[in-house]
Amino acid sequence: MEGEILEAEKKAMALLQHMDRTEWELRDKLAKKGFSPEAIEGAIEYVSSFHYIDDLRYARHFIEIYREQRSLQRLRQDLNKRHVPEECIDLALEEIDWDDTPALEREAAKLLRGTEKEQLSYQEKSKLAAKLYRRGFRSGDIRRVLDM
């Protein structure tokens, strides 16, 4: 058993060497490699003792990277998919001065593909607004950006 825990610790360190992961992702990877629950728990405790995994740090870093590309709602959803605890997501989002406008403008420009928004009919603007709304942007911000 002691040998399996040591192997799980080595594997966990190797997995974290190349990429930051959440605790859930690391547990999942180790389980897929065939380690027992006791070995996985020992490896998690080991890497946690050195702060190699920290879900709050992961959430902060993820938000810092993607905050200008995704809406607030989309960031929350992506972090939930990675099984980051809700309290870590809330803390990480509270720490930033949030403004969806840069991400919204980038998405709108991508969807317009060179077309000027002034050239769009009301129906085309409505379709564009619906696409942006489905991507997690707030309707008031969408109307402001599209000048509807």
Per-residue pLDDT of 52-84, as tens digits, reads 999 999 999 999 898 878 888 889 999 999 999
The number of distinct structural domains making up the chain is 3
**pLDDT at site 136:** 82
Question: Distance between CA atoms of 53 and 47, rounded to whole angstroms?
Answer: 6
**pLDDT at site 106:** 85
Whether 89 and 122 map to the same domain: the answer is no
**pLDDT at site 148:** 56
Answer yes or no: pTM beyond 0.85.
no
Q: Which of 67, 60, 77, 124 is nearest to 101 (CA)?
A: 67
Tokens of 2: 């002691």
Whether 37 and 60 map to the same domain: the answer is no
CB 52 within 8 A of CB 16: yes
Question: Distance between CA atoms of 101 and 115, rounded to whole angstroms?
Answer: 19
Domain range holding 12? 2-49
**pLDDT at site 77:** 93
Using DSSP's 3-state secondary structure scheme, residue 68 falls into: coil
Low-confidence stretches of the chain (pLDDT < 70) are: 97, 117, 148
Whether 43 and 12 map to the same domain: the answer is yes
Tokens of 91: 């803390």
Whether 79 and 109 map to the same domain: the answer is no
Whether 108 and 135 map to the same domain: the answer is yes
Whether 6 and 45 map to the same domain: the answer is yes
**pLDDT at site 144:** 84
